[in-house]
Amino acid sequence: MPDVWLSVFPDALERNYRRMARLFPQSEIAAVVKADAYGLGVKNVVPALDRAGCGAFFVNRFEEALNVRRLTRRAVYVLDVSGVEEGPEDYERFGFIPVFSNKEALNRFSEARNIAVRADIGLNMAGIPARDTDFWIETAKSRGVSLLVGHLSCSENPSSPENKRQLQTFERLASLFPDAKKSLAASYGAFLGKEYCFDLIRAGAALYGASVLPEAETAARMTARVGRLDRVLKGQNIGYGDANPAQKDMLVATLLCGSGDGIVHKKGCFVVFNGKKLPVVASPTTNYLAVDASEVENEIRCGSEADLFNDVYTPDELAKDAEAGTGADVLIRLSPALKKGV
């Protein structure tokens, strides 16, 4: 067995997908599996979602789409299309649906019809600007858009006025494409209200266990072995430098994982051992993470296993403690080299 690994729970993924489908019966639920399925591994995730009835998958890169295609015959949308390396024939060969996010790429697919186009309605990073009125009017007349995609920039903050403003911008564009499917909301956007849901919801974080989904199940658990146990006296420094003295006498357990594995833990975060949350007492090194194991000194041993996150200390909770965005951000940052399995 490795010293650190990620366990993925396909049954939880399936149940989370079905929860989304029940909550939003008016919309198709597509799955976002970019970044190797948010770090969980497409081979562990895509078959489970396929079994749950997912009919469409979204990725950002052509190479990601190839990995998904090996696992399902369902629809695969590619969001970042350049048209430089792969042309129309490549997309046709594998049955991928390009989502055009810039005019240059769209021009390289000049013969394509029934296309998908992404509008930038406020993210100001991806998509064709909604303010380019002439482009949108001409595209509506000449290209046969089958899917119009938008992306909310503030959906994780339901009180942000940007949500309503961006919805209105998207609605104005959508009126130009009465026959096209529309997709504005991802996981968090779907819970802003039914007016944000349209025809297709691009679910990512919710499928992997984000708390925005009621009764969501954590879809993965990260585990590391204890490599060292030692008593540290109050005032002795823990880790690199001399600015992190122990605040009390404690039993320090060193887990065999660190920043090289993509973890975001720091002081103020926890790991879980036998259902108990143990505080992190130093910033991780490349390969090590120190925690205060005083509470479990009669139970813990070298070789014991502790969880970096699980259903007791979820990725969302870890992200909040680490000030690292959302639980989905925690998962995506995991090292691609991390051992993963079901």
Give me the pLDDT at residue 87, please. 87
**How many CB atoms are located within 10 Å of the residue 124 CB?**
9
Structure tokens at 96: 């991928």
Helix extents (H) in the chain = 10-23, 34-38, 42-52, 62-69, 88-94, 103-108, 133-142, 161-174, 187-190, 315-322, 327-332
pLDDT digits (tens, 9 = 90+) for 299-317: 999 999 999 999 999 999 9
pLDDT digits (tens, 9 = 90+) for 18-65: 999 999 999 999 999 999 999 999 999 999 999 999 999 999 999 999
Confidence of residue 328 (pLDDT cuts 50, 70, 90): very high
Give me the pLDDT at residue 54, please. 98
Give me the pLDDT at residue 215, please. 95
Confidence of residue 112 (pLDDT cuts 50, 70, 90): confident
Give me the pLDDT at residue 1, please. 76
Give me the pLDDT at residue 62, please. 95
Confidence of residue 84 (pLDDT cuts 50, 70, 90): confident
Q: What is the pTM of this model?
A: 0.94
Closest CA to 207 of 229, 230, 186: 186
pLDDT digits (tens, 9 = 90+) for 269-292: 999 999 999 999 999 999 999 999
Structure tokens at 3: 């010293």
Mutual angle of helices 10-23 and 42-52, in 10-degree steps: 40
| Three-state secondary structure string covering 115-128 | EEEEEECCCCCCCE
Specify the pairing of strand 220-232 against strand 305-309: antiparallel
Phi, psi of 316 (to 5 degrees): -65, -45
Structure tokens at 323: 């000030």
pLDDT digits (tens, 9 = 90+) for 117-153: 999 999 999 999 999 999 999 999 888 899 999 999 9
Give me the pLDDT at residue 144, please. 84
Give me the pLDDT at residue 316, please. 97
Residue 201: strand pairing partners: 29
Q: Are 218 and 35 in contact (CB under 8 A)?
A: no
Give me the pLDDT at residue 114, please. 73
Give me the pLDDT at residue 86, please. 87
Please give the mean pLDDT across all residues of the chain: 96
- Tokens 């339901």 — which residue? 158
Distance of CA 298 to the CA centre of its chain: 38
Percent of the chain with pLDDT over 90: 92
